[in-house]
Structure 1
């Protein structure tokens, strides 16, 4: 039987050939969908790719401006990733390119440094992500809780809005924090350019109105499709209109608006990543550059992977994502992007949503959006000079303002205040310090909350009445490990002392872990209760933990597999009957409702 959709050149008669073919199809997803690619899919991808390109080009220009880079660097970052993802990507909606989060990271890490540092950061980030993928370290991303993600994305939106206010007001200054931006705006209030303010207000209004245009209900499908197309192309339309107006009203000696300025025309020069740079008329070595970048070389790739996998899960059918393949692809995209002077890139939710709503069929849509970016670099760079900075600031503000996650705050306030504290910590550290430090602080805080819950497990104490008399049931939650074993033992001994001489039942239904330290604690507990002539019976043990419980010295093994208190008591009592008696008669029916054990 032929392997489905596999090209003839990959089919082999032997197991070795078949293994190579399976490996190729797994690691080069293009081989899975290309053999069945048809005209309908090609047309759908063409429409989606063009639509995506109309979104990608103005966004890339705006994100380059956010990172304090020349406009062309945003476009350099927009075509390699999208094209490479066609071959290696697994989720058809994902579009690799510059994002607001990556641009903000780049600004904070490389502020005041030559562009060579940005390109090297892109290359090193790609190397780290590739290594994470090859070593299957995707589980590290799971250490960052949704509360941390919500906190730093919301803070990112606030930081970007604060940083772009100066563009809306026509001001020019350098600020490193939200507070600095607000302070300098107040200080320079008399220097506000009213033409830029008016243009920014118009652009923001139009962008927000066009955003809602796709939700207008109309009877005609064609009209609805046209409204939808105009809505998702709003960034390109607004940038085009503002640039045209700036071009028509431009006066060389007295420009009406602050403009983007000259843009380097043509395609980027292909070169290896810079391993040295010139700073203040002195040459900085590769080691010095890495030291200057610092912990960002590790933190940026983690955030990059987190964002990309989260987007992939949101759009992947069934929510199942090949995390290893996505990390390998993302790493290669950034490493290849560094060859054309790209800034760090990853997937963007807004572009993925555009692809999804455009009816994309395969990752081939990225090929068309990449071509649009290349055409813009070749033919349109001379016109990028006239893009008003107020317009770019409007595009950025209207793109990120909806990233502020107010819903999560409301939900956590009702359901889990500890996770809300983690979100608040991440948000505040992002605003006051840096986003990468906030991610680290939030991850540590989340693990601390989890560790505290493990150290202070919920322990239920009940009196049990069965056909064999009364007993005390102790039901600890989560697991018995070194951080909570002594606490559980103390509470169990206290319950046993109050219930003596009744036996003590340890219900292990909720236990998922048992380490060596906890096993030692249980052995001491068994000896203590035996010395006090009190029976400790463990029951309802999960199958994977039975072997570990059987290793305990002095444990009563007959009750381990019992599923109820009555069955556990009956099994132990049956072992104490004289030979020949019927132990089945001791099995009690369903146990009654327990009474709470009073302290």
Structure 2
């Protein structure tokens, strides 16, 4: 390697410096795009960042309410991640902050526990995700099948809607499940507040109408009108929360308030401090290990779901570009670790906010800086007005945000195509509703793995008789894999196919054969020997390139047939072998010393 500047070979020191520079640029993506940052890009990011901020602030308030935390904790969680992602993030659309999924997990894991447990959960989750990134364990997310994801996502939406109905109709109670929420709503129906019901109905209606506003067809010449409709549509949460708060402010009667309000909010920026490693609970002081025991399995399940959600969003918005999953995991971990120092709840990327950034024309991750600044300004100057945000309005924001997460389309598709996968989805959904979400994810993963093992143990074999000019042959297509779990079954079915009609040859189509282990090789050797003893032939054709070397290790196979791609080509190999055999017999018959020459 030559030095570009002076034509001299690079020294060991130069090579190390270059290696370090590449590593730093890889782990600090801002160094890649910042040197090319221009005025046009800055304006585009500013517009996207402000738009994102108008979405982030009301969502953060609503998600804090969903997690049963004071309103300000949602805002504490929304600025540190967005700002840190500017430096470390690789996908410009991703916005790290509170989400409905993280809020629900936080509620279920930390129910009736002090806020210190929430902050510790954020810190531990961040540490686990960061270590997963260092160890390149992103492949573990692949264990969660789309059916499991669909099941617990739909269940999450149902749980959130059921939990927010009480705020929508002005009731107050503590419920731990969907059944409890339904029971308390029915039993307390006489206490329903009509004003809250009316406000909730109006807010839901307006939110759903504004959501469709961006899809209104306008003349191509009216670009300004189209942009205005789009801006109003994606800012609908901020608009509705602001309008409801103003109405509540001017109609507020301290002696007899018309609506249930959010209440006092602690003003100012969050205090900077270490995550709590001890806490008081029931008049006793708990140490770190005791706190972790109280958090339970959620300490492990939450980081996995966090990574799953974030990587799914990153993949969705980085189509055609290489995604550095390791960097994304390390960034997500650091965002949560840093968030725990400002009393944040667990955070990850949100699809809705990422979609807002994308549609706003975001150019770089710098847009997160502007949305973070808007959140800080809200904490400093607007907290006194958060008191007047009606709870019915926040419930409306949450309900209208999550109802579209209910995945009916996947259920219908699986009903038509794969009922077994549908059973995995149903198990995950029912477990989420009846027990809790983290247990449902674990149950779904185990069910998916069990279904995979079952399919490996019972691979489908399709046999068909094919008539040719030289006789009948039997074509068998082996699907999935032949491994120790299924090798004996595959061998028995091949022998059954060969014996059923006593064909001239058994042709094994390996197009869909994906796995082949040593046990299967031994079984195939026994099958080949048995079929040859019955004066039949067996050929393996359409063999995938990656399985060629393993197939060649099987004693008795006809290697020339591996590359055949059709029945005709496989039969041609048989004819060729027959001709070779006849020629060999003729040569033996005319050799000196043979019986005919004696």
Q: What is the TM-score normalised by the length of structure 2?
A: 0.92
Q: 1:466 to 1:23 in 2, by over 3 A?
A: farther
Number of equivalences: 574
311-320 or 321-330: which moved more? 311-320
Residue in 1 aligned with 2:49? 49
- Superposed counterparts of 1:572-587, under 5 Å: 572-579=577-584
**Does 2:300 match 1:298?**
yes
Residue in 2 aligned with 1:142? 142
User: Matched residues in 2 for 1:272 and 1:575: separation?
Assistant: 81
User: Matched residues in 1 for 2:253 and 2:511: separation?
Assistant: 79
User: Matched residues in 2 for 1:72 and 1:133: separation?
Assistant: 30
User: Matched residues in 1 for 2:501 and 2:121: separation?
Assistant: 65
User: Matched residues in 2 for 1:228 and 1:555: separation?
Assistant: 66
Q: What CA deviation, in whole Å up to 9, does each residue of 1:543-578 have, x standing for no partner?
A: 222222222234444434444321331343244233
Residue in 1 aligned with 2:573? 568
Look up the SS of the partner of 1:476 in the other structure: strand
332-341 or 214-223: which moved more? 214-223
Residue in 2 aligned with 1:445? 447
Q: What CA deviation, in whole Å up to 9, does each residue of 1:219-249 have, x standing for no partner?
A: 3222221222111111111111111222222
Look up the SS of the partner of 2:516 in the other structure: coil
**Does 2:105 match 1:105?**
yes
Q: 1:575 to 1:87 in 2, by over 3 A?
A: farther
189-198 or 493-502: which moved more? 493-502
**Does 2:225 match 1:223?**
yes
Unaligned stretches of 5+ residues in structure 2: 4-11, 588-598
- Superposed counterparts of 1:248-327, under 5 Å: 248-318=250-320, 320-327=322-329
Residue in 2 aligned with 1:194? 194
User: Matched residues in 1 for 2:447 and 2:409: separation?
Assistant: 21
**Does 2:64 match 1:59?**
no
2:474 to 460, 463, 472: 472
User: Matched residues in 2 for 1:180 and 1:113: separation?
Assistant: 19
Following superposition, the deviation at residue 501 of structure 1 comes to 6.9
2:401 to 393, 399, 402: 399
323-332 or 518-527: which moved more? 518-527
User: Matched residues in 2 for 1:269 and 1:309: separation?
Assistant: 31
Look up the SS of the partner of 2:465 in the other structure: strand
271-280 or 414-423: which moved more? 414-423
Look up the SS of the partner of 2:363 in the other structure: coil
110-119 or 222-231: which moved more? 222-231
User: Matched residues in 1 for 2:279 and 2:573: separation?
Assistant: 73
438-447 or 79-88: which moved more? 438-447
* C-alpha contact 1:169 1:196 (8 A) present in aligned 2: yes
Following superposition, the deviation at residue 521 of structure 1 comes to 1.5
Following superposition, the deviation at residue 537 of structure 1 comes to 2.9
Unaligned stretches of 5+ residues in structure 1: 4-11, 583-599
158-167 or 319-328: which moved more? 319-328
Q: What CA deviation, in whole Å up to 9, does each residue of 1:308-366 have, x standing for no partner?
A: 11111211132642211111111111111111111010111111111111111111000
Q: 1:338 to 1:512 in 2, by over 3 A?
A: same
Residue in 2 aligned with 1:172? 172
1:418 to 417, 420, 423: 420
Residue in 1 aligned with 2:24? 24
2:458 to 456, 459, 462: 456
Residue in 2 aligned with 1:184? 184
Q: 1:474 to 1:213 in 2, by over 3 A?
A: closer
* C-alpha contact 2:473 2:503 (8 A) present in aligned 1: no
212-221 or 62-71: which moved more? 212-221
- Superposed counterparts of 1:62-73, under 5 Å: 62-73=62-73
User: Matched residues in 1 for 2:193 and 2:367: separation?
Assistant: 41
User: Matched residues in 2 for 1:422 and 1:320: separation?
Assistant: 31
Following superposition, the deviation at residue 579 of structure 1 comes to 4.6
Q: 1:461 to 1:333 in 2, by over 3 A?
A: same
* C-alpha contact 1:560 1:568 (8 A) present in aligned 2: no
* C-alpha contact 1:309 1:321 (8 A) present in aligned 2: no
User: Matched residues in 2 for 1:306 and 1:534: separation?
Assistant: 52
User: Matched residues in 2 for 1:221 and 1:501: separation?
Assistant: 72
Q: 1:504 to 1:372 in 2, by over 3 A?
A: same
User: Matched residues in 2 for 1:313 and 1:352: separation?
Assistant: 12
* C-alpha contact 1:170 1:258 (8 A) present in aligned 2: yes
User: Matched residues in 1 for 2:216 and 2:544: separation?
Assistant: 55
Following superposition, the deviation at residue 466 of structure 1 comes to 4.7
User: Matched residues in 1 for 2:417 and 2:564: separation?
Assistant: 35
Q: What CA deviation, in whole Å up to 9, does each residue of 1:31-51 have, x standing for no partner?
A: 111111110010010011011
Residue in 1 aligned with 2:116? 116
Q: 1:329 to 1:581 in 2, by over 3 A?
A: farther
Look up the SS of the partner of 1:474 in the other structure: strand
* C-alpha contact 1:129 1:327 (8 A) present in aligned 2: yes
* C-alpha contact 1:204 1:395 (8 A) present in aligned 2: yes
* C-alpha contact 2:432 2:439 (8 A) present in aligned 1: yes
User: Matched residues in 2 for 1:130 and 1:574: separation?
Assistant: 65
Following superposition, the deviation at residue 480 of structure 1 comes to 0.8
2:241 to 226, 239, 242: 239
Following superposition, the deviation at residue 406 of structure 1 comes to 1.7
Look up the SS of the partner of 1:508 in the other structure: strand
Look up the SS of the partner of 2:507 in the other structure: strand
* C-alpha contact 2:561 2:570 (8 A) present in aligned 1: no
Following superposition, the deviation at residue 26 of structure 1 comes to 2.0
Residue in 2 aligned with 1:588? none
* C-alpha contact 1:558 1:571 (8 A) present in aligned 2: no
237-246 or 491-500: which moved more? 491-500
Residue in 2 aligned with 1:339? 341
* C-alpha contact 1:49 1:366 (8 A) present in aligned 2: yes
* C-alpha contact 2:46 2:367 (8 A) present in aligned 1: yes
User: Matched residues in 2 for 1:70 and 1:421: separation?
Assistant: 39
How large is the Cα RMSD of the aligned pairs? Answer: 2.2
Look up the SS of the partner of 1:395 in the other structure: helix
